[in-house]
Amino acid sequence: MKFRILLILSFSSIVMVSCTPEVSSNQSKKSAIAVNTSVLTSSTPAKSLAPLAQSQRSTATKSGTFVSGEHPTQGKVNITTKDGKSFLELEQSFKTSESGPDLVVILHRSDNVIGSTKPPAYSLKNGDHIIIAPLKKYSGAQTYSIPNNINLADYKSAAIWCRKFNATFGAANLSS
């Protein structure tokens, strides 16, 4: 009987000791991440960013605000030029639904993409749009390079489009 109790206690101790390093290892990883994050955000003074921002100035040429189509989509979009290169920039206020596969950022020839298409999908016709790039994330600021061979004067809207189901999540009329 005493041997059995001793065996159970020994086994319990081994299990507890073997689990302890795993927990503390995870905790140290989390705290290391938190320390690294705070160091990154607090160690860069605003003064050192000012010359960088001045050397990389961009000029907004067109802008618009998203309206929802197939799914709720909101926020602002800008077409900017920097050093002769054009970019499509979604502002921090941008947000769209996470429910679609294969979402892409497009430029569209119509100035009223949602009004010129039919619900519920607001499907697009071939030749009316050009795909810029796959959507990087469902919300927040993000920038997409526009190829030099695209004539921006031909496109009046930016949109978030589900290529797989030909569904327009949202679109923004671009104006100067």
Q: Is residue 114 part of a domain?
A: yes
Domain count, the chain: 2
- Regarding whether 153 and 70 lie in a shared domain, the answer is yes
CA atoms within 13 A on the CB side of 21: 4
CB 94 within 8 A of CB 72: no
- Regarding whether 132 and 105 lie in a shared domain, the answer is yes
Write out residues in the chain with pLDDT < 70, as ranges.
Answer: 1-4, 6-7, 9-58
CB 66 within 8 A of CB 81: no
Length of the chain: 176
Q: Is residue 35 part of a domain?
A: yes
- Regarding whether 169 and 141 lie in a shared domain, the answer is yes
Q: What is the CATH number of the domain that holds 81?
A: 2.60.40.200
What's the pLDDT score for residue 59? 79
Per-position DSSP letters for 126-147, written without gaps between them:
TTSEEEEEE---SBS-EEEEEP
What's the pLDDT score for residue 27? 40
Q: Is residue 49 part of a domain?
A: no
- Regarding whether 19 and 73 lie in a shared domain, the answer is no
Q: Is residue 52 part of a domain?
A: no
What's the pLDDT score for residue 87? 97
Q: Of 153, 157, 83, nearest to 122 (Cα)?
A: 157
What's the pLDDT score for residue 73? 97
CB 173 within 8 A of CB 112: yes
**Amino acid making up residue 163:** R
Which residues are within 8 A (CB) of 81 and not within 5 positions of it... i.e. 6 or more apart?
58, 59, 61, 87
What's the pLDDT score for residue 119? 87
Measuring CA to CA, how many Å separate 19 from each of 9, 23, 28, 105, 118? 16, 7, 15, 47, 58
Residue-number span of the structural domain to which 26 is assigned: 1-43
pTM for this structure?
A: 0.67
- Regarding whether 34 and 69 lie in a shared domain, the answer is no
- Regarding whether 77 and 28 lie in a shared domain, the answer is no
- Regarding whether 138 and 99 lie in a shared domain, the answer is yes
